[in-house]
Amino acid sequence: MKNNIFIAIEGIDGSGKSTQAKNIAKRLEADGHKVYLTFEPTDMRIGKMIRSILSGKENADEKVIAALFAADRLDHLLHETNGILKKLAEGYTVITDRYYFSSYAYHGAHVDMDWVIDSNRMAAEILKPHVNIFVDVSPEVAMKRINTNRDSVEIYETLDNLKAVQSQYLRAFEKLKNEEHIVAVNGDDSPEKVTESLWEVLQKENLI
Ligand code: ADP
Ligand code: TYD
């Protein structure tokens, strides 16, 4: 049996983190791990509410959105059949496409970041990732990828927002560098090269 760990993949929209989460899941499976790939916002009840707000179908105050994400995250952790804790207990290595650093970065521009961190404290106490991987790309590269590849663009997806989110990520990493394990990989390269760097990180840090 291989050790099972919890990996969070972070990055701005269009950074390629979903692609990397899938690639790393495949690599880990080929290496003999049982893998559970998951994401936030979830596709459960609170996640659905969030997606309806992000698509512009419904309106909500930024504070409400931040609180919904914190609640969705607890559901993600604690859900009795599909929750992350349950999957870890069953021996899966869990990879999540976004976790609480997404909240710090996306809501930190609209709501006091310390409040966002506080409102996620319970999730952090329940389960911190063994590693938070930041797929680091320039906002211009990310914007180009979004515009080339998507037929619908969400409310956060403008170049100014991508820049703001990128700088909030850096602010959050600086704030929490003593409490969290954070590793950045260069996301500007080809998907294969980024996966290779990510794999090297996991090996070098003895996580797999
Ligand atoms: P995210 O989850 O960060 O929004 P995705 O993985 O969905 O990003 O990637 C956004 C788009 O960019 C997708 O169409 C994907 O195929 C493409 N893409 C992902 N990684 C790269 C890369 N390293 N180089 C070029 N294009 C990429
Ligand atoms: P996601 O589905 O990961 O979008 P994408 O595939 O485009 O990266 O996430 C949807 C949006 O939700 C994304 O713009 C980031 C935002 N988000 C928050 O604002 N707060 C959060 O806590 C999380 C997890 C995501």
152-202 pLDDT, tens per residue?
Answer: 766 668 999 999 999 999 999 999 999 999 999 999 999 999 999 999 999
Per-residue pLDDT at 151 exceeds 80: no
Confirm if 97 and 84 have CB atoms less than 8 A apart: no
Ligand 2 centroid to Cα of residue 153, in Å, is 12
- Closest Cα to atom 13, ligand 1: which residue? 149
- Closest Cα to atom 19, ligand 1: which residue? 16
Q: Does the residue 132 lie in any domain?
A: yes
- Closest Cα to atom 7, ligand 2: which residue? 13
Percent of the chain past pLDDT 70, that is, above it, reads 97
Buried b (16+ CB within 10 A) or exposed e, 141-171: bbbebbeeeeeeeeeebeeebbbbbbebbee
Ligand 1 centroid to Cα of residue 16, in Å, is 4
Q: How far apart are CA 148 and CA 46, in angstroms?
A: 30
Q: Does the residue 117 lie in any domain?
A: yes
Ligand 1 centroid to Cα of residue 81, in Å, is 30
Task: Please indicate whether residue 136, judged by its CB atom, sits closer than 6 Å to ligand 1.
Answer: no
Residue located via tokens 């310390």: 114
Per-residue pLDDT at 149: 80
Task: Please indicate whether residue 106, judged by its CB atom, sits closer than 6 Å to ligand 2.
Answer: yes
Q: Does the residue 198 lie in any domain?
A: yes
Q: How far apart are CA 155 and CA 138, in angstroms?
A: 19
Ligand 2 centroid to Cα of residue 141, in Å, is 18
Per-residue pLDDT at 206: 86
Task: Please indicate whether residue 91, judged by its CB atom, sits closer than 6 Å to ligand 1.
Answer: no
Q: Does the residue 81 lie in any domain?
A: yes
Q: How long is the chain?
A: 208
Q: Does the residue 1 lie in any domain?
A: no
What are the tokens at 14?
A: 């269009």
Please count the structural domains in the chain: 1
Per-residue pLDDT at 96 exceeds 80: yes
Per-residue pLDDT at 103: 98
Ligand 1 centroid to Cα of residue 122, in Å, is 31
Domain around 21: 6-204
CATH number at residue 10: 3.40.50.300
**What backbone torsions phi and psi does residue 35 show, to the nearest 5 degrees?**
-120, 135
137: DSSP letter: -
Ligand 2 atom nearest to 156, measured from its CA: 14
Task: Please indicate whether residue 103, judged by its CB atom, sits closer than 6 Å to ligand 2.
Answer: yes
What are the tokens at 139?
A: 């906002």
Per-residue pLDDT at 1 exceeds 70: no
158: DSSP letter: S
* Pairing verdict, β 131-136 and 35-39: unpaired
> Quick check: helix, strand or coil at residue 95?
strand
Q: Does the residue 33 lie in any domain?
A: yes
Ligand 1 atom nearest to 13, measured from its CA: 4
Q: Does the residue 15 lie in any domain?
A: yes
> Where is 165: in which H helix or E strand?
helix 159-175
Residue 59 burial (CB count, 10 A): 8
Per-residue pLDDT at 68: 98
Q: Does the residue 119 lie in any domain?
A: yes
Q: What's the pTM value of the predicted model, to 2 decimals?
A: 0.96
